[in-house]
Amino acid sequence: MSIGNEARTESLASADVIVVGGGNAGFTAAHAAAVRGRKVILLEKGSEDMGGGNSFYTAGATRIAHSGLADLLDWVEPDERHDRTEVPPYSADEYAADLAKVTEGRNDPDLTKVLVEESQPTLRWLNSLGLKYRLMYERQAYERTDGSFLFWGGLHVGNVGGGEGLIADHTRVAAELGIEVRYGHAAKSLVLENGRVTGVAVETADGEVRLSAESVILTAGGFESDPEWRREHLGEGWENAKVRGTPYNTGDMIAAALEVGATKGGDWRTCHSVQWDAFTPTNESNRELTNRLTRQSYPLGIIVNAEGRRFLDEGADFRNYTYAKYGKEILKQPGSVAYQIFDATLRPMLRTEEYDMPGISVEVADTLEELATKIGIDPEKLSKTVSDFNNSIDRNVTFDPNVKDGRAAATEPVKSNWAAPIETGPFYAYGVTCGITFTFGGIKADTHGRVLGADGKHIEGLFVAGEMLGGLFSTNYPGGSGLAAGCVFGRRAGTLA
């Protein structure tokens, strides 16, 4: 066995299936096992008011393949705007191509095939159980002059109520299915008997217990909440990143899986990281503001560092395909801080949920020179950066945030799309730093979530899903594919366990 005899055995058959981790992937796996008549215990490290894993902190956006609006209307919530809405089809081939593009071809092709083909059927299944979905107007569409809406970027559907709504729905469905959710149960190690995982050693307020099961599904997230693991695997400086989501993803169950012979999977050197409010005092694991601390309207303006210089292409692609890698670029800047700059013309287009939140870090001034002084940047340097940018814009091309409009600024670095002049006061500066979401490295498994050992064989009784499953993402990430993967591979694992 891989645990000591001091652990108290609760029973010889605590459950048919134990799921470790109470986020989206964990609940989905639990539902899939429960509908088969399996007795399921779901273990959540946090207390009930701290549960939900990283999923609680998301906006609920979930990337699926579909053939257009008509393919969605029978299962998303009604909205009076549907009649004046255009949702372009997003095929499985496009989905797979986007994954390959943003990960620079490092995505596992077999996992990718399953994800893109089963994404919509899995959400339809969850909807049939009671999870509610809607079109994400405020995040993925701009209203056009005729009052219509055009969705963009391949990401169109999300949970009603965002991440909080997602976890509330999952929790309600779990109760209806008879799943036993145990909060304040921190799994520490796996029980291995004759080469098979037969249970989990769990730390509780009453001491350590050992729970037995025929199968264990690991959905306990990555290691992004542990600064030492971040520094060791992601590199120097990553210990300074802000943790966007749950404080409990410290790699404990990754270590436990490796201890019983599991193999590492995916890219352990990169992660999902975003531009995150730099100066709000409670800007880590904030249960009230959750995802509202992100700053994702950056494609409309410019980003400068503390020296007043631009350092990336804000308009390289739709936000969905750049936001998860730009946090890393902020971390590299002096002080690991940068500023998103907008003028009065652009300000009304910014996401209300993020840029109008309580206590937001923002400085406002009537002139660029005054703005620079407020944020501690040399006024001449910021003015020159903005002037060079404005003068290089191709004004013969029409600005259109609904499409990749090709309206470029031919300065250094280039801005490829959505180049709008920063020229009308008042001017706005939003301080951002690096917020880490989850790590891409995890445990290797087959397409059913069965954990693989060094010999390429399954470790009997052990499954993995969610952010612990390595192989789908590297360097970057298409927005919404994390929740989709949690659903798809959580369901697959729960169907076999």
Contacts of 34 (CB under 8 A, 6+ apart): 40, 174, 177, 178, 179, 494
The gap from C-alpha 365 to its chain's centroid, in whole angstroms, comes to: 33
Q: Which domain holds residue 359?
A: 272-435
Please tell me the predicted confidence (pLDDT) of residue 12.
44
The answer, yes or no, to whether residue 385 has pLDDT greater than 80, is: yes
pLDDT band at 8 (very low <50, low <70, confident <90, very high): low
C-alpha 268/C-alpha 238 separation (Å) is 13
Q: What is the pLDDT of residue 10?
A: 53
What is the domain-level CATH number for residue 175? 3.50.50.60
CB-facing half-sphere around the CA of 318: CA atoms within 13 A:
19
What pLDDT shows up at residue 357?
Answer: 86
The whole-number average pLDDT for the span 215-228 is 98
DSSP β-bridge partners for residue 40 = 17
Q: Is the pLDDT of residue 4 over 70?
A: no
In the predicted structure, residue 291 carries a pLDDT above the cut 70? yes
Strands 149-151 and 133-135: unpaired
In the three-class reduction of DSSP (H, G, I as helix; E, B as strand; rest coil), residue 468 is classed as helix
Alpha-carbon distance of 427 to 344, in angstroms, equals 6
426 upstream amide cis, omega within 30 of 0: yes
Residue type, 202: V
pLDDT tens for 244-270 read 999 999 999 999 999 999 999 999 999
Which of the listed residues 394, 411, 435 is the one where a domain comes to its end?
A: 435
**Are 424 and 490 part of one and the same domain?**
no
In this model, does residue 426 exceed pLDDT 90?
Answer: yes
**Residues 350 and 460 grouped into a single domain:** no
pLDDT at 359: 86
Would you list the DSSP string of 278-344?
SS-TT-SS-TTTGGGGB---GGGSEEEETTS-B-S-TTSS-GGGTHHHHHHHHHTSGGG-EEEEE-T
Among residues 427, 458, 439, 290, which one has the least CA distance to residue 365? 427
Q: Is 244 strand, coil or helix? A: coil
Mean pLDDT, all residues of the chain: 96
Beta bridge partners of 86: 150
Residue 265 included in any domain: no
User: Is the pLDDT at 276 greater than 90, yes or no?
Assistant: yes
Whether the CB-CB separation of 55 and 486 falls below 8 Å is answered with yes
Residue 419: per-residue pLDDT: 98
Do 424 and 472 belong together in one domain? no
The pLDDT of 202-218, averaged and rounded, is 96
Cα 168 from Cα 185, distance rounded (Å): 19
What percent of the chain is modeled with pLDDT above 70?
A: 97
Average pLDDT estimate for 418-433: 98
Does residue 33 or residue 4 have the better pLDDT?
Answer: 33
- Closest by CA position to 274, among listed 316, 329, 195: 329
Is 316 part of a structural domain of the chain? yes
Pair (44, 115) in one structural domain: yes
| Residues 409 and 451 both lie in one domain | no
The mean pLDDT value for 181-185 works out to 97
Residue 229 domain-assigned (yes or no): no
Query: In sequence order, which residues have a C-beta less than 8 Å from that of residue 252 and are 6 or more positions away?
Result: 186, 187, 188, 220
pLDDT confidence tier of residue 84, bands split at 50, 70 and 90: very high
Domain match, 423 and 479 both: no
**Sorting pLDDT into bands at 50, 70 and 90, what band is 13?**
low
Residues 6+ apart with CB under 8 A from 225: 243, 245, 246, 247, 248, 249, 250
Inform me whether the pLDDT recorded for 6 exceeds 80: no
* Domain tally, the chain: 2
The pLDDT value given to residue 257:
98
Do residue 316 and residue 383 come from a single domain?
Answer: yes
Q: Is the pLDDT of residue 2 over 80?
A: no
| 384 and 309 co-located in one domain | yes
pLDDT of residue 311: 98
Q: Give the max Cα distance, the chain.
A: 75
* 129 inside domain: yes
Please return the burial class of 141, using the count of CB atoms within 10 Å of its CB with bins 0-12, 13-18 and 19+.
Answer: buried
Task: Choose one of 405, 435, 465: the last residue of a domain.
Answer: 435
Query: Does residue 7 have a pLDDT over 60?
Result: no
Cβ burial, residue 49 (10 Å; 0-12/13-18/19+)? exposed
Q: Are residues 86 and 152 in the same domain?
A: yes
pLDDT of residue 57: 98
pLDDT of residue 3: 47
Give domain status of residue 125, yes or no: yes
Choosing from 387, 414, 435, the residue where a domain stops is 435
Same domain, 26 and 154: yes
CA distance 346 to 135: 24
**Segment 303-358, tens digit of pLDDT:** 999 999 999 999 999 999 999 999 999 999 999 999 999 999 999 999 999 999 88
Residue 249 lies in a domain: no
Residues 29, 85, single domain; the answer is yes
Q: Is 264 among the domain residues?
A: no
- The arithmetic mean of pLDDT across residues 391-396, rounded, is 97
Are the CB atoms for 437 and 222 separated by under 8 Å? no
State the CATH number of the domain containing residue 361: 3.90.700.10
Q: What is the per-residue pLDDT across 17-40, written as a single tens digit (0 to 9) for each?
A: 999 999 999 999 999 999 999 999
Cβ–Cβ under 8 Å, residues 288 and 267:
no
| 241 falls within a domain | no
Q: Does 277 share its domain with 350?
A: yes
473 alpha carbon, distance to own chain's centre: 11
Of residues 486, 380, 489, the one with CA closest to residue 159:
486
> Do 467 and 25 form a contact (C-beta atoms < 8 A)?
yes
Question: At 81, which helix (H) or strand (E)?
Answer: none
